[in-house]
Structure 1
Amino acid sequence: MVEYISIGLALLTIGLGAFGFLAPRYTASALDLETTHTTMGLSEMRASVGALFVAVGFACLFTGSASAYFMLGVVYAGAATGRALSLILDAPPFRKALTFFAFEAIPAGFLLWAHSLT
């Protein structure tokens, strides 16, 4: 069961990352971000919000190793930590930020727990 959930989380990561990679304008809008004088923001969306997550998800599926899935958990934990700090310091739209936090913290907890045991 752990294996199937882990694979599902890797696929979810690829899917969500694909939005940032292939549809950066849509993703920027969903995250309340705007491009300004240049398209550098779109470049950043494709790289850090998109391709980074696609690559990590594919690495998990390609290797199938517990350490790859553990590192996916670390990535989610890092995102959840940044989101938690933002909730405390930045006063973002609470419900939206809390929802995003849950989508980061829950996979982080599961992946770190499930793949630190193997």
Structure 2
Amino acid sequence: MDLIANGLNILLALGTIGLGLFGLLRPVQTMEYIGVAATDDTGLAKSEVRAASGGVWVGGAIGALLIGSPVAYVVLGALWAGAAIGRGMSVMFDKANTGKPVIFFAVEVVFAVLLLGINLPALF
């Protein structure tokens, strides 16, 4: 893998970690930012934000950095693509077609396209 591709992979993984850390370390602020609230005091809402909006992204990106292969970065790209698919469905079916959902969708698509575009060719 060439130097530019490797550098982009590392930057995208670090960006993923940065975004994931916000959900992992600041679940209440994350919930406020995205407009969701806990409906009970079990801690499940914060737990879910820490796991799904934080830990999954941090763990996936750290794994990609540690493994450092195109396959690992394809998996990270697949995570981003999965998020984009889910968000895209929400944009289409849930009328979440303005503001933050559209911006989040765009970010997810960019990360997915870059990671997959850089690394899939290296697998063939």
The residue number in structure 1 matching 2:36 is 33
Q: Does 1:6 align with 2:5?
A: no
Please report the TM-score for the alignment, with normalisation by the length of structure 1. Answer: 0.96
Q: What runs of 5+ residues in structure 2 fail to find an aligned partner?
A: none
Aligned residue identity for 2:34: L
The one-character-per-residue Cα deviations of 1:60-88 (angstroms, maximum 9, x if unpaired) are 11111111100010000000001111001
Please report the TM-score for the alignment, with normalisation by the length of structure 2. Answer: 0.91
The residue number in structure 2 matching 1:68 is 72
The one-character-per-residue Cα deviations of 1:12-71 (angstroms, maximum 9, x if unpaired) are 111111111110001111111111112210000111111110000101111111111000
Q: Percent identity?
A: 37
Q: What runs of 5+ residues in structure 1 fail to find an aligned partner?
A: none
Answer yes or no: is the 8 Å Cα contact 2:96–2:102 preserved in 1: no
| Structure 1 stretches of 4+ moved >6 Å | none
Please report the RMSD computed on the Cα atoms of aligned residues, expressed in angstroms: 1.0
The residue number in structure 2 matching 1:104 is 108
Distance in 2 of aligned mates of 1:93 and 1:80: 13
Count of matched residue positions in the alignment of Structure 1 and Structure 2: 118
**How far 1:95 moved relative to its partner?**
2.2
The residue number in structure 2 matching 1:46 is 50
User: Is the radius of gyration larger for structure 1 or structure 2?
Assistant: 2
**How far 1:93 moved relative to its partner?**
5.6
